[in-house]
């Protein structure tokens, strides 16, 4: 009986997922022809693009995580500097803003006629930065992903018991020793999961790779998928691509997760204990450099976005009613999608941690997270089109178009919710399982008394992120959008497609501003005030 | 985590969102549903302007549905199949025409189409053209003082850097591919190889390329001869000009068609011929930024003066495109990867 | 050896005031009701808390501004004395070098320290494979290799059974006698120090109310509060 109750949330979530994705697949398969995997795997063109896709995703993930480590460490060590809280909120932005907005911001900084090249020219050196190539793809991916990876790593740091630092104080450990003996074991546990998520994100990167890649050899598999749809409308081939992507990514990310060493932790009370390694001047300089690096990395392109957003007739563009209706609609859709994402994610996490902690099957827990995350590499068109095909005979798709958008966006946000919620939920369970069981605190009471207070902060981050992701998402609404259902990104792309670049920049600025406001409001609202260890 | 509270909130919000999107249906008037691309239905686009005109004429309710672009339009049609609610599909271009016809979903319009402004005229039973333009390299006259005067000059003599779109993912990209093929024939692959060092990047679509161009990443971008008209009319600047090439320019024609499964065939036919009316043709240039197919009574703004001798308009027939496209893209890919 | 001169410390809404002197090689058992400030007292000596006023002198040196690692003190807490992901050997080795750069001679010292606490051969085990008492013994082994003159123990054996508590207390006493350590031990159970010779320090309401010898306190509690506490 207890077992059933414990597995229930996960089963419910899995059912919803199975229904939606299974239904979508069913819909697509009913109209697709015969799926020929062999033809796909034998196509030299496909294999060539696949190789590049995997390579750039791997490099991007590795680079993002490696760069995020010193930044997160610096933020943990320096708890009190002006602007720290705002900087941490800003770290969530690059992941959620529409790709083209970010790319144009990056180009304004790193492009041929960007700020850096202007500075180099002024300095008189002949050097010129040319970002169109693999380097540009990596810079862009680091911009979009490293800040979010930093926030995930911050969560990991928050999980190190304070008593470890007390011991370190007693033993007189230096910063380097603390990193090697205390922080690195935690990173071994968390970093592979973070890298895995970034890998999946970069694997399906479409615009960034094409626009900044410089040339057609630098393209991801998404191009081939788009080609299959564009002229031939070969749904079977698209499904085959989806299967290929899911299978390959499952292997790669699964292998990555195996690298994660689960560290035996004697969980303390996690009281805040001061670290002994803060005074060293080398450490101070290093931390300042890391924080400055992160701040510049995030702020420079954002500043460019702000600058182009307020130029021209920005006031005029910003005060048009349709823009604010679109904004309201975006917020409504975003909140629904975010809530749904977190609900489904929470269900999966609750069951995964039971399996991982109580029944001592951590492999199952990882498998659940991996399964939820692989949604990222299912071509969104498959899900959208599949749902469309499924629902069209029974309902007016236009009337409920936004419902589809909410559902698909919720699915797209699920991997993020899982990655944010899983490690803290596991840790809370490990720490309190015996005590709670011993006192008979189970079920909803357990959620209310134990989980809610301790998991509020990750929940706040998860909800803020999934809501903002939906806010900035264009892909799905493109399939279901009508004139009545305009959202902000839809308006943005409309403007960009009609020469109205200045108006688009203003729309982009408002979108970014809304996302930032979402992070601040939701994180504080759900996460509560409280010392900002993470 | 108040699970039940959350669930309730989510469901309510979903319901509200659904309700908010249900458009008000006027039961007494018939509805004509037109699928088109999103910039057509934008606030500043042609859609909102021609809607009241047609509704007055037909006594019906005109409902525009905007999807991302021409490609999405075709995908949507194929997904919906015979059950589609659409009566008209508006916004396919000539490169998609063959595939659109092959779906078997479109009906003959039965109209007599006169398109005097369209180079080469028009003769198709299914599709009605409503506007067109030439692909061209648009340049920033402040960054580039002497643009190349021909495609050959661009490829062989010029050192101007250019921004282009990917033919696999974008209509102008495919247009350039076809243009190069028309001019160079079998030598196209070598021409691409010669051009390659000056290509700054090959972007996903027109918006990205034009955005990069406006940021100053390169002095030239592949766009339309009508692009400068936007900057002249809407922004009042003559800074951006189209480089006119001696060999001629490749054409893009946008078309509309009615669906076999339409439940309002008479209205649909009426709409198609309405597209060719003077009222619409006069609105199109300064809202869609393309040339009309019929010269408006009151003439065109100066910015839309014909740039080329119509005899120099280059185009492959839709069937030729459908037949050779994949091979030509492969040829392009290998030239760009050498 | 240890002297607290007019040391004040504000903890929430209580101001603690400590004045205490412990001689070299002495054993002092600190006891008193919960919340009295016993742990705070030890934290102040160890350096985990900084006093608001007064002076702390250990071995003739003023400890103002001296971080915990540089004080001639080793502290053993009730739990969490070990890193769960490092082996017993490594945990003890941290006492010699906090970066675990150990020479062969160092490793021998580790092994002999483990022998001394009765855990010979346990070097490769992980803390979660040991019982509570064994874990505390590993912490004691570390204090041996650290070789500091002062040993502070904050109810280190509270989680153990009475027989084991006596054995561990005896072990501490033996270490103290063999090496001349100055030991301050916080305990709830003064009774269990019955066998030991040393000072008893009664702390209540954030201050040292009374000092004396253990024997005296047990035989005839000098204050009614102490009598109440001892029962």
Question: Are the C-beta atoms of A240 and A40 separated by less than 8 Å?
Answer: yes
**A330-347 confidence digits (pLDDT tens):** 999 999 999 999 999 999
Q: What is the pLDDT of residues A127-175, one digit of tens each?
A: 788 899 999 999 999 999 999 999 999 998 988 888 888 889 889 898 8
Q: Do C67 and A181 touch (CB under 8 A)?
A: no
- The CA R_g of chain C, rounded to the nearest whole Å, is 18
pLDDT of residue B10 exceeding 60, the answer is no
Taking contacts as CB-CB distances below 8 angstroms, the residues of chain A near B67 are 478-479, 481
B14 with A403: Cβ contact below 8 A: yes
Q: What share of chain C is helix, strand, coil (3-state, %, to 5)?
A: 35, 25, 40
Check if the beta carbon of residue B215 is closer than 8 Å to that of residue A113.
yes
Tell me: pLDDT of B312 over 90: no
Q: Taking the domains of chain A in order of start, what are their residue ranges?
A: 37-96+141-304, 323-534
Digit-coded pLDDT (tens) for A86-95: 999 999 999 9
Q: Phi/psi at C6 (nearest 5 deg)?
A: 50, 40
DSSP state of B73: H
Q: Is the pLDDT of residue A124 over 50?
A: yes
Contact B18 A402 (CB under 8 A): yes
Closest chain A residue to C145, measured at CA: A171
- Inter-chain contact A172–C95, Cβ cutoff 8 Å? no
| The pLDDT of residue A441 is above 80 | no
Place B22 in a pLDDT band, splitting at 50, 70 and 90: very low
Nearest CA in chain A to B78: A233
According to DSSP H, which parts of chain B are helical? Answer: 3-21, 47-58, 70-80, 97-102, 151-152, 171-184, 188-195, 206-214, 227-234, 265-275, 278-288, 318-337
Give the model's confidence band at A480: pLDDT under 50 very low, under 70 low, under 90 confident, else very high: low
Give Cα A295 distance to the centre of its chain.
19
Q: Which fold has domain A37-96+141-304?
A: MetI-like fold (1.10.3720)
Chains in touch with A (3+ beta-carbon pairs under 8 Å) read B, C
Cα B196 from Cα B188, distance rounded (Å)? 12
**Residues in chain C whose beta carbon is closer than 8 A to a beta carbon of chain A?**
46-48, 67-70, 74-75, 77, 79-86, 94-95, 98-100, 126-128
Fold match, A37-96+141-304 / A323-534: yes
Distance from CA of B70 to the nearest CA of A (A): 10
* pLDDT tier, A478 (very low <50, low <70, confident <90, very high otherwise): low
CB pair distance less than 8 Å for A229 and B71: yes
Alpha-carbon span B84 to B90, nearest angstrom = 14
Min Cα–Cα distance to chain B from A75, Å:
28
For chain A, what percent of residues have pLDDT higher than 70?
94
Q: What is the ipTM of this complex?
A: 0.90
Please state, rounded to an integer, the average pLDDT across all residues of chain A. 88
Whole-Å CA distances, B321 to B123, B178, B310, B318 = 17, 8, 21, 5
Closest-CA distance of chain A to residue B285, Å: 13
- Residues of A491-504 as b/e, b for ≥16 C-beta within 10 angstroms? bbbbbbbbbbbbbb
Dump pLDDT digits (tens) for B182-223: 999 999 999 999 999 999 999 999 999 999 999 999 999 999
pLDDT digits (tens, 9 = 90+) for B267-305: 999 999 999 999 999 999 999 999 999 999 988 888 888
pLDDT tens digit string along A29-60? 888 878 888 888 888 889 999 999 999 999 99
Mean per-residue pLDDT of chain B: 88
List, in order, residues 6 or more apart from C184 with CB less than 8 Å away.
C2, C22, C28, C30, C42, C45, C150, C151, C152, C153
Count other C-beta atoms under 10 Å from residue B238's C-beta. Answer: 11
**Set of chain A residues whose Cβ sits within 8 Å of the Cβ of C82:** 167, 266
Nearest by CB to C69, which of A163, A171, A180?
A171
* Crossing angle between the packed helical segments A401-439 and A184-203, to the nearest 10 degrees: 160
- CA C110 vs. chain centroid, Å, equals 20
Note the Cα A44 to chain centre separation in Å.
32
Instruction: Residue A173: list chain C partners with CB under 8 A.
Output: 69, 98-99
Mutating which of B34, B202, B216, B331 best tests the A interface, going by the most A Cβ atoms within 10 A?
Answer: B202
What is the mean pLDDT for each group of 10 consecutive residues in chain C (231 residues)?
A: 90 86 91 84 88 92 87 87 87 87 92 92 90 91 92 87 84 90 86 81 86 84 80 70
Give the confidence band of B26 by pLDDT, cuts at 50, 70, 90: very low
Interface mutation target, options B36, B61, B168, chain A, most CBs of A under 10 Å: B168
Q: What DSSP state is assigned to residue A36? A: -
What are the backbone dihedrals phi and psi of residue B242, each rounded to the nearest 5 degrees, phi first? -100, 130
**In the CATH scheme, what is the homologous superfamily, with its name and number, of domain A323-534?**
MetI-like (1.10.3720.10)
Classify strands B88-93 and B249-259 as parallel, antiparallel or unpaired: antiparallel
Distance of CA B29 to the CA centre of its chain: 31
Q: How far is Cα A249 from Cα A376, in angstroms, rounded to an integer?
A: 10
pLDDT at B190: 94
Residues of C whose CB is below 8 A from A172:
67-70, 98
At C54, list the tokens. Answer: 């007064």
- Per residue in A483-511, pLDDT (tens digit) is 567 889 888 988 998 999 999 999 999 99
pLDDT category of residue A479 using cuts at 50, 70 and 90: low
Shortest CB distance from B207 goes to which of A100, A227, A484?
A100
The residue to which tokens 């006093």 are assigned: C51
pLDDT of residue A1: 65
> Would you say residue B5 has pLDDT above 60?
no
| Phi, psi for residue A150 in degrees, rounded to 5 | -60, -45
- Chain B residue at shortest CA distance from A459: B1
Cβ of C100 within 8 Å of Cβ of A181? The answer is yes
Q: What's the rounded Cα separation, in Å, for the pair C56 and B99? A: 89
A176: chain C residues, CB-CB within 8 Å: 99
The answer to whether the beta carbons of residues B215 and A110 sit under 8 Å apart is no
Chain A nearest-CA distance from C142, in A, is: 10
Q: Which candidate, A147, A296, A144, A305, places its Cα nearest to that of A212? A: A144
- The 10s digit of each residue's pLDDT in B228-273 is 999 999 999 999 999 999 999 999 999 999 999 999 999 999 999 9
* CB neighbourhood size of C24 (10 A): 12
For position A533, what pLDDT does the model report?
47
CB-CB: which of B41, B78, B169 is closest to A483? Answer: B41
- Tell if the CB–CB gap between A276 and C84 is shorter than 8 Å: no
How far does the CA of residue A462 sit from the closest CA of chain C (Å)? 30
Q: Does the distance separating the beta carbons of B333 and A216 come in below 8 Å?
A: yes
For residue C69, the chain A residues in CB contact (below 8 A) are 169-173, 276
Residue A348 and residue A394 in contact, taking contact as beta carbons nearer than 8 Å: no
CB pairs under 8 A between A and C: 69
Q: Which residue has the tokens 């075709």?
A: B74
pLDDT at A62 > cutoff 60: yes
- Shortest CA gap C216–chain A (Å): 34
Cα C27 to Cα B291: distance, rounded to the nearest angstrom = 100
């Amino acid at each position: 009986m207890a077992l059933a109750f414990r597995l229930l949330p996960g089963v419910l979530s899995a059912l919803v997922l199975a229904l939606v994705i299974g239904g979508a697949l069913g819909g697509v398969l009913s109209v697709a022809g015969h799926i020929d995997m062999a033809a796909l795997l034998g196509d030299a063109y496909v294999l060539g693009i696949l190789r590049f896709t995997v390579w750039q995703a791997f490099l991007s993930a590795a680079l993002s995580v490696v760069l995020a480590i010193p930044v997160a460490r610096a933020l943990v060590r320096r708890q009190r500097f002006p602007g720290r809280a705002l900087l941490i909120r800003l770290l969530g932005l690059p992941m959620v803003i529409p790709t083209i907005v970010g790319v144009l911001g990056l180009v304004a900084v790193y492009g041929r006629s960007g700020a850096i090249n202007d500075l180099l020219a002024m300095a008189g050196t002949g050097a010129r930065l040319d970002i169109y190539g693999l380097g540009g793809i990596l810079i862009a991916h680091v911009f979009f992903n490293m800040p979010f990876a930093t926030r995930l790593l911050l969560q990991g740091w928050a999980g190190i018991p304070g008593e470890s630092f007390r011991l370190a104080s007693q033993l007189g450990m230096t910063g380097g020793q603390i990193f090697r003996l205390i922080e690195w074991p935690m990173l071994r546990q968390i970093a592979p999961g973070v890298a895995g998520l970034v890998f999946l994100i970069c694997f399906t990167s479409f615009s960034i790779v094409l626009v900044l890649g410089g040339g057609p050899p630098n393209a991801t598999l998404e191009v081939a998928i788009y080609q299959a749809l564009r002229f031939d409308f070969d749904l079977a081939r698209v499904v085959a691509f989806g299967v290929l992507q899911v299978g390959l990514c499952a292997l790669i990310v699964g292998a990555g997760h195996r690298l994660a060493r689960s560290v035996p932790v004697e969980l303390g009370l996690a009281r805040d204990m001061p670290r002994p390694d803060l005074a060293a001047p080398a450490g101070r300089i290093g931390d300042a450099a890391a924080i400055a690096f992160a701040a510049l990395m995030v702020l420079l392109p954002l500043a460019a976005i702000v600058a182009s957003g307020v130029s021209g007739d920005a006031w005029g563009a910003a005060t048009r009613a349709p823009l604010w209706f679109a904004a309201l609609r975006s917020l409504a859709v975003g909140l629904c999608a975010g809530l749904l994402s977190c609900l489904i994610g929470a269900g999966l996490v609750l069951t995964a941690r039971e399996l991982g902690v109580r029944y001592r099957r951590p492999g199952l827990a990882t498998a659940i997270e991996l399964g939820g995350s692989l949604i990222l590499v299912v071509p969104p068109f498959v899900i959208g089109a599949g749902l469309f095909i499924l629902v069209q005979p029974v309902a007016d798709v236009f009337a409920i178009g936004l419902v589809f958008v909410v559902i698909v966006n919720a699915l797209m946000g699920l991997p993020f919710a899982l990655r944010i919620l899983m490690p803290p939920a596991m840790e809370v369970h490990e720490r309190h399982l015996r005590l709670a069981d011993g006192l008979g605190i189970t079920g909803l009471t357990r959620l209310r008394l134990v989980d809610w207070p301790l998991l509020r902060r990750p929940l706040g981050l998860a909800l803020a992120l999934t809501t903002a992701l939906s806010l900035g998402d264009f892909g799905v609404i493109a399939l279901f959008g009508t004139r009545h259902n305009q959202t902000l990104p839809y308006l943005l792309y409309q403007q960009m497609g009609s020469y109205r670049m200045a108006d688009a920049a203003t729309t982009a600025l408002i979108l970014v501003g809304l996302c930032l406001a979402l992070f601040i409001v939701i994180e504080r609202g759900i996460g509560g005030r409280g010392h900002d260890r993470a | 985590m108040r699970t039940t509270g959350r669930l309730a909130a989510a469901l309510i919000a979903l319901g509200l969102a659904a309700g908010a999107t249900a458009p008000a249906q006027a039961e007494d008037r018939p509805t004509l549903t037109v699928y088109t691309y999103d910039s057509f239905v934008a606030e500043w686009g042609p859609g909102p302007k021609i809607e009241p005109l047609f509704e007055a004429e037909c006594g019906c309710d005109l409902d525009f549905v905007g999807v991302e672009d021409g490609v999405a339009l075709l995908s949507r049609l194929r997904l919906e199949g015979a059950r589609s609610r659409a009566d008209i599909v508006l916004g396919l271009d000539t490169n998609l025409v063959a595939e659109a016809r092959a779906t078997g979903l479109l009906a003959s319009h039965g109209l007599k189409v006169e398109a005097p402004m369209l180079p080469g005229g028009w003769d198709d039973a299914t599709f009605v053209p409503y506007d067109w333009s030439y692909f061209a390299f648009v340049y920033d006259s402040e960054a580039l003082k002497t643009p190349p005067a021909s495609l050959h000059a661009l490829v062989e003599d010029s050192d101007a850097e250019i921004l282009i779109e990917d033919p696999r993912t974008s209509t102008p990209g495919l247009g350039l591919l076809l243009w190069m093929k028309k001019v160079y024939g079998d030598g196209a692959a070598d021409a691409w190889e010669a051009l390659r060092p000056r290509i700054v990047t090959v972007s996903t679509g027109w918006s990205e390329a034009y955005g990069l161009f406006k940021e100053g990443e390169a002095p030239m971008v592949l766009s339309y001869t009508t692009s400068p008209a936007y900057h002249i009319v809407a922004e009042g600047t003559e800074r951006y000009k189209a480089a006119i090439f001696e060999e001629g320019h490749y054409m893009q024609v946008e078309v509309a068609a009615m669906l076999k499964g339409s439940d309002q065939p008479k209205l649909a036919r009426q709409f198609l011929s309405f597209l060719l009316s003077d009222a619409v043709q006069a609105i199109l240039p300064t809202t869609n930024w393309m040339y009309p197919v019929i010269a408006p009574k009151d003439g065109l703004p100066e910015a839309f003066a014909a740039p080329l001798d119509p005899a120099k308009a280059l185009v492959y027939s839709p069937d030729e495109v459908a037949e050779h496209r994949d091979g030509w893209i492969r040829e392009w890919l290998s030239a760009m990867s050498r | 050896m240890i002297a607290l001169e007019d040391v004040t410390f504000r903890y929430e809404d209580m101001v603690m005031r400590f004045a205490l002197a412990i001689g070299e090689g002495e054993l002092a058992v600190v006891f008193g009701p919960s919340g009295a400030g016993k742990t705070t007292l030890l934290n102040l000596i160890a350096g985990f808390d900084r006093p608001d006023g007064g002076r702390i002198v250990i071995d003739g040196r003023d400890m103002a501004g001296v971080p915990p690692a540089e004080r001639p003190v080793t502290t053993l807490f009730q739990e969490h004395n070990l890193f769960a992901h490092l082996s017993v050997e490594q945990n003890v080795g941290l006492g010699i070098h906090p970066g675990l750069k150990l020479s062969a001679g160092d490793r021998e010292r580790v092994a002999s320290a483990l022998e001394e606490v009765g855990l010979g051969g346990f070097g490769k085990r992980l803390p979660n494979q040991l019982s509570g008492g064994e874990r505390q013994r590993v912490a004691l082994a570390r204090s041996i290799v650290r070789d500091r003159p002062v040993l502070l123990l904050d109810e280190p054996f509270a989680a153990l059974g009475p027989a084991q508590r006596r054995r561990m207390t005896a072990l501490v006493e033996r270490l103290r006698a063999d090496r001349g350590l100055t030991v301050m031990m916080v305990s709830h159970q003064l009774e269990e120090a019955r066998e030991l010779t040393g000072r008893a320090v009664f702390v209540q309401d954030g201050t040292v109310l009374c000092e004396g010898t253990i024997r005296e306190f047990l035989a005839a509690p000098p204050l009614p509060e102490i009598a109440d506490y001892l029962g």
